[in-house]
Amino acid sequence: MRILVTGGAGFIGSSIVDAYVGAGHHVSVVDDLSSGARENLNPRALWHELDVRNEALDHVVASERPEVVSHHAAHVSVRRSVDDPVGDASVNVLGSLRLLEAARRHGVRRVIFASTGGAIYGEPDVVPADETHPCRPQSPYAVAKLTVEHYLRYFRTTYGLEVVILRYANVYGPRQDPHGEAGVVAIFIQKILAGRSPIIYGDGEQTRDFVHVADVVRANLAALDLALDGPEPAIFNVATGQGTSVNQLWTALAGIARPAVPPRHEPAKAGDLSRSVLDPARAKRALGWQPTVDLAEGLRLTWDWFVARERKRAA
């Protein structure tokens, strides 16, 4: 199968590229390295250094002739989207729309879209929240993701484009960027390795659903062959269904890493959700997918990867 992955040098996107290549697919990547890393690029995938807003994207899709587009290119910082909602929408909405138009013009059969369950539902009425929960985004980032979902529904009903939307919970694991505000596990690990105190905002009792990137990759593999019925996009939460507080996360990670200094607390961030836990039951029924990496194992795997990278850089 011919697959184009946008954001294929990023944390999640590059992990998916590796799996697609390993499964024998012909994979090409679009990434401008604005947040991705050159070292993440798979040498067996053809890389196009390109912003998804660039008009040349149409030529890439025309030349690569992908059957499937896996769309992971995005500005992923909620805080940045609050500071610059126009810039966020430029990439996450207009860049996505340019990609969808190219897909329509050049015969792409299916689009797999990386959406967000961690932000799109807002403060939940019930926990865990399933895919029928009202979407009440509380940040420009989440608004943009929901907007693209609506565009995808339009392209599905109007042009017959096959659409699979994966709403990710809080993804963590190897290759995560610790220099943003979207990856608390990576941020905590970076602080521990530097011998500095990580920050816990508020009382630390806010809960999140932490899903390991290896499980996210498996969901993306399953999404390639899903049989689609009806005019609507297929939407799935990719999550564990288990809530973990930030305090619990720190305790679990500290048991592995043995940090030299404790965390420090700062006031809660405005608009921070108190709970975000997603129900993955639909993915189990339709995709045959369920999470396999529990938090203890996932944190150990992630810690070991970051430690190995530090040693390699120091050598």
Tell me the catalytic residues.
141
CA distance 307 to 64: 37
Q: What share of the chain is helix, strand, coil (3-state, %, to 5)?
A: 45, 20, 40
Cβ 119 vs Cβ 139: under 8 Å: yes
Contact indicator for 12, 177 with CB cutoff of 8 Å: no
Using DSSP, state whether 205 is helix, strand or coil.
coil
CA dihedral 229, 281, 125, 220 (to 10 degrees): -70
**b/e per residue, 131-169, with b = 16+ CB within 10 A?**
bebebebbbbbbbbbbbbbebbbebbeeeebbbbbbbbb
* Alpha carbon 301 to chain centroid, angstroms: 18
